[in-house]
Structure formats: C-alpha cells, structure tokens
C-alpha cells in the first residue's frame, strides 16, 4: 500500500498544487465507496491498474481511465473494482482553464474523458506510456511533459487568482459589488471571468471554502456551535443545511459514522496542504 504526494515541475506550479499517487494492492470488495466532497478544486485522474466506478442513485458507472473532474458542489461516491493505481493531478481553483478551451463551468459536478478534450491519439499515446512505465516516477514524468506541452498561450487569469486568494482569506465577508467597483469592472464581467476560470460562481466558491474551514476547525477539536459562529453562518439551521448540501449528511454524522482509513489519513492529514484542499475524503 502506497500513498505519495509530490510537487509539480516548476512550469506547472502556477496551475498545479500537487500530484498525488495512490497504489493499493489490497482492495477489499466489502469496502464502502469513498465519499469525495467539494474542495474548491478540480483534478485530472489517470487510472493505470483496474478501473474505478462512481455510484449515483444505486447505479454504478465506469469511470474513464483518463478523466478530468470539474468542480464539485455535492459529494461524489467512487470505489475500486480491483487493484488500484491512481495518479491525481490536483489543480488550483484557477488552474484548469489554461489547459483547455472547454468552458470549465460546464463540467461542474461532472467529468469528461480527456480523450474528448485533447484527442484520442494524443491521450492514447500518453496512456500507453503510463501503463507500460516501470514505476510511478516515470508515469508522473510523462504526465507532466504532456501538461507542459498543452498549456495554452492565454495562461492563468491573474485577477481570478487574486480573487480566489482574497476569498480564501475573507470568506465570511465577500461583497461582490464592492470588489467590482474597486477593480473598476462591472459586476457581470467580474462574475463571468471568475466562473470561466474556476468553474464556480464566487458565491459557490466562498461557500465551499467556508465549509472546508468548518471541517478544518472540527478536526482541530472545536465544537460545531463555535464553528458555525466562527465561520460566519447566519444561524445553526443555515450551518446544518450547508453541511448537508456538501456531504449528504448532518454535522454530527460526518465523522461519527466513518472509520478512518489509511487513504483518509493520508489525504486529510493537512501535510503540505492549503485550506483550499482540506478534508477531501470521508
């Protein structure tokens, strides 16, 4: 069983927060599906061993071997079908847009096989190299070379980068109209640029960041009542409703019904992670 997180190539650092590797040869079919909750980020995933499936309304659906996941506003349930080998490219909230011409907001709560984004021949050649590689170092190297090659000339939107960081630091007091006036932009133009780059509205993004802050404080030992107040929720019902929206369960049951696994301990440890990426796995 192996979990690793590595830093991306210098060229990719403005867009990619990290690259995660999960290799687990002890999959047990009795395991419950992994719940992946909104974290204000997107990722590109490469499955180089047995496939994974998603679960929705009691139906299993095969996940493509190479897939780009959009922003999540609700939980996603996935599980392995055998031996697991996964490489996950974790993008910053603004990081996907420079790699594709697809309007990123169209992928919200969805995913697309990257064959349809970058071409079957190009992705097919990359995937063949990944599955034939001798080790994960080689696999990650091929993936990074691929990403460096497809970065578009438009690069990242520095205004949106600044806005996401501002929201991350002031998620309780975001006033969009005030921000637009300060930047001498129309409210509509500001919202469009933010959505084009991150795949979320500013309100949705701020809500997810606030939710992630709440989970972070819970792991630090705070009580839910104090967390609701500290994170700027209007009242307890508002807090409960938001938690249920993002996790599918009540605050009290988020951790009480979940037995920690090595996967959760690794990805939820906070090691080397910003508050954009807390508590992705439940």
**Is residue 43 assigned to a domain?**
yes
* H/E run at residue 180: helix 176-182
pLDDT-based confidence at residue 256 (cuts at 50, 70, 90): low
Q: What does the alpha-carbon distance between residue 202 and residue 195 come to, in Å, rounded to a whole number?
A: 7
- What is the per-residue pLDDT across 43-91, written as a single tens digit (0 to 9) for each? 999 999 999 999 988 899 999 999 999 999 999 999 888 888 999 999 9
In Å, what is the CA distance from 170 to each residue of 21, 164, 213, 272? Answer: 32, 10, 11, 21
**Is residue 203 assigned to a domain?**
no
Q: What does the alpha-carbon distance between residue 69 and residue 90 come to, in Å, rounded to a whole number?
A: 10
Per the structure, the count of domains in the chain is 1
Q: What percent of the chain has pLDDT over 90?
A: 44
**Is residue 57 assigned to a domain?**
yes
Q: What does the alpha-carbon distance between residue 238 and residue 32 come to, in Å, rounded to a whole number?
A: 29
**Is residue 212 assigned to a domain?**
no
Contact by Cβ (8 Å): 201, 207: no
Going by their DSSP bridges, the two strands 52-56 and 111-113 should be labelled as unpaired
Q: What are the b/e assignments for 121-146, b being 16+ CB within 10 Å?
A: eebeebbebbeeeeebeebbebbbeb
For residue 28, the 8-state DSSP code is -
Where on the phi/psi map is residue 119: left (φ > 0), alpha (ψ -120 to 50), or beta? Answer: left
**Is residue 16 assigned to a domain?**
yes
State the average pLDDT for the chain: 85
Domain residue limits at 45: 2-150
pTM: 0.86
Contact by Cβ (8 Å): 64, 118: no
- Which of 211, 157, 167, 233 lies closest to 178 in space, CA to CA? 167
**Is residue 35 assigned to a domain?**
yes
In this predicted structure, the answer to whether residue 230 has a pLDDT above a threshold of 90 is: no
In this predicted structure, the answer to whether residue 260 has a pLDDT above a threshold of 50 is: no
Average pLDDT over residues 185-193: 89
Contact by Cβ (8 Å): 108, 71: yes
**Is residue 190 assigned to a domain?**
no
**Is residue 118 assigned to a domain?**
yes
Domain CATH number, residue 67: 2.60.120
* Size of the chain in residues: 282
């Amino acid at each position: 069983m192996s979990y690793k997180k590595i830093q991306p190539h210098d060229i990719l650092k403005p867009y990619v927060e990290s690259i995660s590797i999960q290799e687990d040869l002890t999959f047990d079919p009795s395991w419950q599906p992994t719940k992946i909750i909104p974290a204000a980020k997107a990722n590109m995933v490469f499955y180089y061993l047995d496939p994974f499936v998603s679960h929705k309304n009691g139906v299993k659906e095969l996940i493509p071997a190479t897939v780009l996941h959009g922003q999540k506003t609700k939980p996603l349930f996935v599980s392995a079908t055998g031996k697991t080998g996964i490489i996950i490219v974790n993008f910053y909230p603004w990081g996907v847009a420079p790699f594709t011409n697809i309007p990123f907001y169209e992928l919200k709560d969805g995913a697309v096989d990257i064959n349809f984004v970058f071409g079957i021949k190009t992705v097919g050649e990359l995937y063949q190299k990944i599955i034939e590689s001798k080790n994960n170092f080689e696999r990650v190297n091929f993936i990074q070379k691929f990403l460096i090659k497809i970065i578009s000339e438009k690069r990242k939107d520095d205004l949106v980068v600044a806005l996401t960081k501002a929201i991350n630091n002031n998620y309780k007091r975001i006033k969009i109209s005030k921000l637009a006036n300060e930047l001498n932009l129309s409210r509509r133009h500001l919202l469009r640029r933010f959505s084009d780059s991150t795949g979320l509205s500013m309100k949705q993004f701020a809500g997810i960041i606030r939710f992630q802050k709440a989970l972070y404080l819970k792991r630090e030992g705070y009580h839910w009542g104090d967390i609701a107040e500290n994170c700027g929720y209007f009242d307890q019902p508002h807090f409960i409703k938001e938690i249920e929206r993002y996790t599918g369960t009540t605050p009290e049951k988020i951790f009480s019904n979940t037995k920690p696994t090595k996967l959760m301990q690794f990805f939820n440890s906070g090691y080397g992670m910003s508050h954009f990426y807390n508590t992705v796995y439940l």
